[in-house]
Amino acid sequence: MADWFDSRRSQVLAKNGMVATSQPVAASTGLRILMEGGNAVDACVGMAAVLAVVEPVSTGLCGDLFALVWMDRERKVRALNGSGRAPAAANIDELLQQGVTRIPVHSPYAVSVPGTVDGWQKLIDAYGTMSLPDLLQPAIGYAEEGFGVTAVISKQWEAAIPVLMQYPSGEELLIDGRAPREGDTMRLPGMAKVLRDVADGGPDAFYRSPLAKHIAEYVQECGGWLAPEDLASHTSTWDEPISTDYRGYTCWQCPPNGSGMSVLMGLNIAENFDIAGLGFQTPDTYHHLIESMRLSYADALRYVADPAKVRIPLDQLLSKDYASKRASLVSADKAMAEAPSGDFNLGSDTVYITAVDGQGNACSFINSVYEGFGTGMVVPGTNMCLHNRGSLFSLDPNHLNVLEPGKRPYHTIIPGMVTRGDDLWLSYGVMGAFQQPQGQLQVLCNLIDFGLDPQAALNALRFSIQLGRGVVVEEGLPLTTIQDLGRRGHNLATLGGYQRVIFGGGQVIARDPETGLLRGGSEPRKDGAALGW
């Protein structure tokens, strides 16, 4: 199985525009949009719609999205939060009285309002040059006429059969009770109809319509809280992005309720160490990056929540002084027994998409139903799975991220951007639930500390901190490195073959501000592609 992973890819070069995402048919859609005069935002929305059809394990119209946008004329990064909120009827006491201590991931209680469709429209309204109906046509075509299922998606689909079989309507996403195999043609006529309705009626056809009533009634029939009024009142928000400087590069993330601050905290801690001097993929570098991320996660899991509902000490968490104190907890030769969070006085599955057009505009875009097929609840007749982001709420009444009506939950999906001075340098992301922040940290260090090109930065072996369960490393890491890390106290396991998808799915486009040359890379652990012209 090791040969399955070995990447022979080199970086892609282009000057007129570039796209990168996890499915070639989606990437080709984005490239065609750019070649026909659309911009980076148009391309990302068009690709996202296609991925909702061809990669329904990971994304869909009943998911959420986040995006960072750079418009060259504005010379600044903007952040769109397209995540939904908990239903107005959400009731923590109802769950606690049942003896539930954590919201079940495949239950109707995990359903929050899907934010995707409104997010698409908000992006286009602000920065697009094409209409939503035009951008949805390729997705409609794939849903109606069918698409070929790729190897990685087939395996993920097969693994998720138990999730789909929990509810009768899950059969809509199976072929005679089985997952589609590699090379099978899959058609999703119900989703095609929803896409056509949205093309004709815009977001109202999703949020304020018979479809909205149908979605809510289905959730309530299964025992959940979602109501038509929750869908009708949904709106995306434009937020101020957050950032930190890492060795002269300004790294940007969406603010909470997204967990992008964990990337920035990890970078701030890692900056206290001479990562380049420690060496590429050495035991010392692995150790210091693992410890930096463990400390970052400790704070993210405590403090990431909806800032519209609670106060988050962002300035303190992202300060260099705080990072220096956190870095002092890292021993050079011994892993922390436990990574503590700071203390302040407060008074599985995703798709990542990026595009940079010939004018230097960029969009870094993530769309997700969270875990494979989300809740597994397929809205009857639509081929659409409801996401399970609500499962990330806490049921601890004293936690910042506690379940409340109208509140946005902790989100793992985090698009990234990097600027140098007043210029865009990088539009990138690494999908994969809690792998995203640590995947981004490793890719950024590969690019900045070690000077790798985008494809080489993605090809490099990665680690994956499994919260509460140690660290997984990729097959191919030298045994001496694994033994060295073990001696330092890291609880390690090794994975190879198709299991490498747990290490994330990244896409990277870098832009040279002087020449306009675009350099791109696409995740070798996935089916995707970076394409340019």
pLDDT category of residue 6 using cuts at 50, 70 and 90: low
Which structure tokens are listed for 72?
A: 């060259």
Identify whether the C-beta of residue 333 lies closer than 8 Å to the C-beta of residue 495: no
Tell me whether residue 350 is one of the annotated catalytic residues: yes
Backbone φ, ψ for residue 25 (5° rounding): -65, -30
Q: If you average pLDDT over residues 129-152, what whole number do you get?
A: 97
Number of domains in the chain: 1
Look at residues 103, 189, 123 and name the one whose alpha carbon lies nearest to residue 370. Answer: 103
Report pLDDT for 343. Answer: 60
pLDDT category of residue 500 using cuts at 50, 70 and 90: confident
Residue 426: beta bridge partners? Answer: 418, 510
* Residue 315: how many other CB atoms lie within 10 Å: 9
**pLDDT over threshold 80, residue 8:** no
Residues whose CB falls within 8 Å of the CB of residue 432, separated by 6 or more in sequence, listed in order: 348, 349, 350, 439, 501, 502, 503, 504, 505
Alpha helices in 90-247 (DSSP H): 92-97, 116-127, 132-145, 151-159, 161-164, 189-201, 204-207, 210-221, 228-232
Cβ-in-10-Å burial (0-12, 13-18, 19+) of 313 comes to middle
Identify whether the C-beta of residue 53 lies closer than 8 Å to the C-beta of residue 147: yes
Backbone φ, ψ for residue 36 (5° rounding): -90, 5
Lowest mean per-residue pLDDT among 6-15, 262-271, 292-301, 444-453: 6-15
pTM over 0.85: yes
**pLDDT over threshold 50, residue 481:** yes
pLDDT category of residue 498 using cuts at 50, 70 and 90: confident
Report pLDDT for 1. Answer: 30
Catalytic residue among 29, 59, 350, 419: 350
Angle at 227 between CA 52 and CA 173, to 5 degrees: 30
Q: Which structural domain range is residue 238 located in?
A: 1-533
Per residue in 184-235, pLDDT tens?
Answer: 999 999 999 999 999 999 999 999 999 999 999 999 999 999 999 999 999 9
CA of 11: how far to CAs of 381, 485, 489, in Å? Answer: 42, 31, 37
**Cα–Cα distance, 395 to 402 (Å, whole number):** 6
